[in-house]
Amino acid sequence: MKFQQKKQHKTLKISNAYHEHLKDVALYGIEIFGERVSREFIAKIQAKVARLPFMPDANPKNRFIESTEQKTYRNIIIEKYIVLYAVTKSTIYVIDIIHSSKHPTSIKKAVKAVAKEEKQLSKRKGHC
């Protein structure tokens, strides 16, 4: 009898920047396309992000941020938006959602901001 090893899923962590910018995308969508279309688009984005723990490597690597052995940066491309995320051994960090017309330096800034956010969160946990 063969035993199938259950694949362990990674923990999904989402940055504050992603949450804030997703709200901005929704508001812009309502303004330009209407509430129904905006809601559908946001649902599409959220569904793709929710699937990340099951298939973290399904999306292309980000070409503007160099990956390391410990961390790989990837993109979910949804129409004109990019959801930037990082994959480590145990965790997926959703960094931000960025309009594809933005300059690549905004991608690097997003990564730095989330690294700072992660550092602050880990310091707070140490004080509890």
pLDDT at 12 over 50: yes
Average pLDDT of the residues of the chain: 87
The reported pTM is 0.82
Q: Give SS3 for 3.
A: coil
Q: How confident is the model at residue 102 (pLDDT cuts 50, 70, 90)?
A: confident
- Please give the domain boundaries of the chain with CATH numbers for all domains: 11-127 (3.30.2310.20)
Tell me the two tokens of residue 14.
């989402």
